[in-house]
Amino acid sequence: MTDRTPPRERAAGGPIAHGGNLHEAATRYGIPYAQWLDLSTGINPHGYPVPSLPADAWRRLPDEGDGFAERAARYYGAPDAAHVLPVAGSQAAIRALPALLPPATVGIAPLTYGEYAPAFARAGHEVVPLDAHRDTLPAPLMHVAIVNPDNPTATHIDAARLLHWHAQLRERGGTLLVDEAFADTLPAARAASLAAHTHLDGLVVLRSPGKFFGLAGVRAGFALGAPALLAALRDSLGAWAVSGPARHAVSAAFADAAWQTRMRERLIDESARLAGLLLAHGFATRGTPLFAWTDDARAAALHEALARRGVWTRLFPPSLRVPSASVRFGLPGDEAEWIRFEQQLQQAVRSLDAAPTR
């Protein structure tokens, strides 16, 4: 059923759907939690093997002099640690940043990470659809929040266009917010990162080790930007935003260049396998090395058919802004999961083909 709630009203309130909501799926479909194959997130299923943590990580308060921001600056390519603020997952920054910007018109893609529009609407901004293919931004826009590459559509914007947008917004006294949560895995996306430009006023980049490193549970992220804005964000979020254990885990992951290289190669291979499997059943996809996405006309029916078989995917229902449903698939975690997904996908597609047409 189409969501007919007005976009401004829908953005400002109501529950926001996310992947990983497996308990909800278990309740809805009557399948025990442990029996599900969860492909509903874009998180790396081969998470970084965190080494044993020192006892002080648990006993002591996090120490901002521990070099954590410096390590993040080196890994992401920020100018220096003064332009990096560790936060409790980039989600914390998404919620807090809109209130630090002057209320105005903000452009957000019609289909993207679902937290942005509500966060800006709550802070008094007017949220309007963003056409990511335009070089020149329309005059009413003062702020833009863009996920690059996008989640779930995988739309990727090169650095030149983003910097052109930033120049336009800066002339208006506005801000460009770029969420690069999925940039770690794609060479083109890493090359297009604006982290090195975050000395510029009116530019904020959000990064997350949760996706590529498979460390979503540690709730660590980074806001990269001008020191004055980061100071305001720090005041809003309060002290000790990132726990001691999280700081140790992420620092170890940043330092392990060999693991990063091996994992990028593995994810590229596995994402090609996923896209090929879906295409073999007639579903063309777009994606990143961590997920595949399709807006095929059968997307909603496929999501439902897989769910009835204990395979949980991420459904994006239709709305006034995006009239067609779509589905995102994460990567299976091991060969047994790949075999199970292939078998259940085959059965699900057969059920769709056998369903009567209206």
pLDDT in tens, 237-249: 999 999 999 999 9
Give the pLDDT band (50/70/90) at residue 281.
very high
Instruction: With a cut of 70, say whether residue 15 has pLDDT above it.
Output: no
Instruction: With a cut of 80, say whether residue 17 has pLDDT above it.
Output: no
CA atoms within 13 A on the CB side of 38: 18
Q: Which residues contact 8 (CB under 8 A, 6 or more apart)?
A: 121, 126, 127
Give the pLDDT band (50/70/90) at residue 4.
very low
* Mean pLDDT of the region 268-284: 97
* Mean pLDDT of the region 186-198: 84
* Mean pLDDT of the region 260-277: 97
| Residues forming a β-bridge with 38 | 312
Give pLDDT, residue 8: 41
Give pLDDT, residue 143: 98
Instruction: With a cut of 50, say whether residue 6 has pLDDT above it.
Output: no
Give pLDDT, residue 307: 97
Between 310 and 20, whose confidence is greater? Answer: 310
H or E element at residue 259: helix 257-280
Give pLDDT, residue 21: 86
* Mean pLDDT of the region 157-180: 96
Give the pLDDT band (50/70/90) at residue 63.
confident
Q: What does pTM read for this prediction?
A: 0.92
* Mean pLDDT of the region 122-150: 95
Give the pLDDT band (50/70/90) at residue 357.
low
Quote the CA–CA distance of 204 and 39 in Å, as a whole number: 30
Instruction: With a cut of 90, say whether residue 186 has pLDDT above it.
Output: no
Quote the CA–CA distance of 203 and 168 in Å, as a whole number: 12
Instruction: With a cut of 70, say whether residue 358 has pLDDT above it.
Output: no
Give pLDDT, residue 305: 97
- Mean pLDDT is lowest, of 81-90, 135-144, 215-224, 317-326, for 317-326
Closest C-alpha to 144, from 122, 121, 175, 182:
175
Quote the CA–CA distance of 305 and 147 in Å, as a whole number: 30
* Mean pLDDT of the region 152-164: 95
Give pLDDT, residue 354: 84
Going along the chain from its start, the domains and CATH numbers come out as: 7-46+258-354 (3.90.1150.10), 61-256 (3.40.640.10)
Give pLDDT, residue 5: 37
